[in-house]
Structure 1
Amino acid sequence: MLQTVSDSALKIVSLKTFPLRVPFVDGGAGTGGTPSRWHELDMVLVRVEDEGGNVGWGEAFAYFCLEPVRSAVERMIAPFVVGQTIDDVTAWNMTIQKKLHLFGRYGITMFALSGVDIALWDLAAKRQAKPLSHLFGATADVERFSYASLVRYGDADLVAQQCQRALDLGYRHVKLHEIDPAVITRARQVVGPNVPLMVDANCAWSVEEAKALASVFRENDVLWVEEPVFPPDDYEAMAALEAAGIPVGAGENASTDFDFTRLIKAATYPQPSMTKVGGVSEFVRVLQSCKQAGKIPMPHTPYFGPGYFATLSLLPLTPDETLVEYLFVEPEAWVAKTTRPVGGKLASQSLPGIGFTPELETIERYAVNL
């Protein structure tokens, strides 16, 4: 029988990384807004184990940066984990942020920290044999609407096909990654007037260009325009667009609650990303900041590993109006038995930790030798 945290303070005896690359299909060319063709899901799984045999899993964001993220976990974060007794994960997280600030407060450093933080929280909850949300005061599972997050197709006919497929699968919320007004308009025609439609520009426009599209967003009843301008942390620009009547969603490129306190003032829909923001520790703080500011968090979660599971596990901490992103692609394999949207909804589950039980054969099959 595994020891629990109440038995003794248990040291972490190992931290292992598993870099994976899982192909997927999305019905398009995969050349919308990435450095090269995007047809594979890269992830760095993180496994921590304590001296009682308890195991926690996490996920570090690694799209197109698998090698440096894996190296950052092993060389920058692991030395502060193995051999340590970590009872307060949030305090540990802040300590590591202070130690590593020289290497940047965003990007690779935070991707690596996020993955380890998720694993440590999974471990902490499993030690108590409780769902992660119960460690933050939740007592029951919830359902939240999910939205089909389409990739960028750049083709009106393809977008129309994928929008219809999403509707046929029961989705009642759709997000595009399109920047062509004609394509956005075609999508609205397909989904009809009663389905909320969002547009993610991936920082494609200047403030002036985004403002010039205000009538397109208004005529197509766009719920939010996501990351409309570059750079993604130009919060003054977001505030200017909000003042011009364009509701903004943003946050996948923001890290830590400190950054979100500024973003929340500028954007209507804050979008914390579990594998980028700093893991569970910072994600929960962002949820609290959103609540204090009266904003609805809309988690950014185009993942299929522990980052996705951790997000779902914390849904009981979100308001009823929260929408959960689901990347509208078909992976070649699943790294764990995965909860998928049913009738356009996703639910939390009362499983220990984040509810992630890896398929070890799949991990072996899609492992990347670095």
Structure 2
Amino acid sequence: MRIRNVEAITLKIPFGDLWAGPRRKPRGWTQFDTVLVRVTADDGSIGWGEAFAYSCASSVRAMLTDTVAPLVAGQTVEDIPAFSLALQKELHIWGRYGVTLFALSGLDIALWDLAAKRSGRSLAAHLGGRHRDRIPAYASLVRYGAPEPIRAVASHAVAEGYADVKLHEIAHENIAAGREAVGSNIRLTTDVNCVWSVPEAEAILPRLKALDLFWVEEPVFPPEGYETLQQLGRFGVPLAAGENACTAVEFARLIPALTYPQPSVTKVGGISEFLKVARLARTAGKTLMPHSPYFGPGYWATLQLAAHLDDIGLFEVLHVAPEAFSGRNIPLPKDGWIRVPDAPGIGFEPDHAAIDRYRVA
């Protein structure tokens, strides 16, 4: 397929966090920063992707518009992984990770969406087989920092049918409040976002083992510190990480230190790199738990990968209330499960009214 052009579209969509009560601190995260990637082929067919853009949308859009798009326009793409790798090589001077890989991730997703559409198949089928039509999901809560909202929102998630709930809490009392709210039959995790020091992690992990956490995510900084993660494994608490790792090169080092590797399709290098990570995880006997707190093409692409790769364990759904979605008919969880669409490509169809309303000039 020959590429006519690449366009980056920035959206800012507000969301509510399901808690209207008093707060110890003002809300921090209030909107989705999204960069959609639209790739148009010479025959007019369109592929959609999403580049990670939380708090960095303008930089990611600039990388796509000023650097990536001019390299891609006019090119013929037959082998997407080879083409994406060639772009990584071309752009390595700007860094192997960060906004460069975010931009390339969005492009790669759009190219795969376009290729699968042109074949008339869903991405899962195009990749070699659709092995399941639904996947279990877990509710991923934002950080509240106090027991009362944690209990309320975690209980809300369980009432909606989730059997798995993830907190983003770092204090023992708040994590314990989550366990109290969901009960002993629900699998509970927490994402620390690298806040603890190593001594803090060593002090709290034995206490968290008593709470029977399914995993603890990114306990310390740096997130790619595989040697430290290996050492923390001695406490017997399953560890997860990978949302901040770009390319399979980083995962080759991380996977042996983790119980659950967590590639993010909008960060890691797109579908091409995600598949490489999946092969590494399968060889190591590890179950993938993808990072996917998105509601655009990144969400849809992860669903298709989960339909294709039956060794993906759970699908992450950000447990919030967006004002709108960038795509039409998004398949949301019901009783803790998501039905995976079987439409051509990743299944994403833009909601042009929402895009026009929330688009950033």
TM-score range, shorter chain: over 0.9
Q: Report the Cα distance in structure 2 between the residues aligned to 1:230 and 1:158, rounded to whole angstroms.
A: 27
Partner of 1:276: helix, strand, or coil? coil
Deviation at 1:129, TM superposition (A): 0.7
Cα deviations by residue, 1:108-158 (Å, 9 ceiling, x for unpaired): 111100001100000000111111111221144332211100000001010
3-state SS of the aligned residue for 2:91? helix
Query: Retained in 1: the 8 A contact 2:131–2:308?
Result: no
Match of 1:365 among 354, 357, 361: 357
Matched, 1:58 2:39: no
1:127 aligns to what?
A: 118
- Give me the whole-angstrom Cα distance separating, in 1, the residues matched to 2:259 and 2:93: 32
Report matched runs for 1:1-370 at 5 Å.
10-28=1-19, 37-319=28-310, 322-336=313-327, 337-369=329-361
Q: TM-score w.r.t. structure 1 length?
A: 0.93
Give the unaligned 5+ runs of structure 1.
1-9
CA contact (8 A) 1:141 1:350 kept: no
Between the aligned partners of 1:175 and 1:158, the Cα distance in structure 2 is: 14
Do the aligned residues in 2 keep the contact of 1:56 with 1:121 (CA within 8 Å)?
yes
Q: CA deviation at 1:317?
A: 2.9
1: distance between equivalents of 2:131 and 2:199? 46
Shift of 1:54: 1.1
Measured after TM superposition, the shift of residue 320 of structure 1 is 5.5
**Is 1:241–1:247's contact at 8 Å kept on the other side of the alignment?**
no
- The question of whether the paired residues in 2 share the 8 Å contact of 1:125 and 1:132 is answered with yes
Using the alignment, how far apart are the partners of 2:180 and 2:75 within structure 1? 57
Q: Distance in 2 between matches of 1:124 and 1:247?
A: 38
Contact 2:282 2:311 in 1 (8 A): no
- For 1:275, what is the secondary structure of its paired residue? coil
1:136 maps to a residue whose letter is L
Deviations, residues 73-97 of structure 1 (Å, cap 9, x unaligned): 1122112211010011100011011
- Structure-2 change in CA distance of 1:100 and 1:140 (3 Å): same
Is the contact made by 1:45 and 1:60 (CA closer than 8 Å) also made in structure 2?
yes
The separation in 2 between residues aligned to 1:359 and 1:139, in whole angstroms, is 26
How far off is 1:217 after superposition? Answer: 1.2
The TM-score with structure 2 as length reference comes to 0.96
Letter of the 1:241 partner, please give it. L
Cα RMSD over matched residues?
Answer: 1.4
Give the paired residue count: 355
* Superposed CA offset, 1:148-183 (max 9, x none): 000000010100000110011111100000011011
| SS of equivalent residue, structure 1 residue 213 | helix
- Please tell me the residue identity of whatever aligns with 1:352: P
Percent identity, aligned pairs only?
48
Distance 1:13 1:328, change over 3 A: same
> Residue 336 of structure 2 aligns to which amino acid in structure 1?
G
Other-structure match for 1:5: none
For residues 315-339 of structure 1, give each alpha carbon's deviation from its aligned partner in whole angstroms, at most 9, with x where no partner exists.
1233356011000111101111211
- Which whole-Å CA distance do the structure 1 matches of 2:306 and 2:114 have between them? 19
Q: For residues 329 and 107 of structure 1, what CA distance do their matches in structure 2 show?
A: 26
Conservation of the 8 A alpha-carbon contact between 2:290 and 2:312: no
Letter in 1 for 2:218: E
Q: Give the conservation status (yes or no) of the 8 Å contact 2:122–2:345.
A: yes
Does structure 1 conserve the Cα–Cα contact (< 8 Å) formed by 2:233 and 2:257? yes
What SS class does the counterpart of residue 267 from structure 2 fall into?
helix
Contact 1:43–1:59 (Cα < 8 Å) also in 2: yes
Identify unmatched segments of 5+ residues in structure 2: none
| Equivalent-residue separation in structure 2 for 1:250 and 1:244 (angstroms) | 16
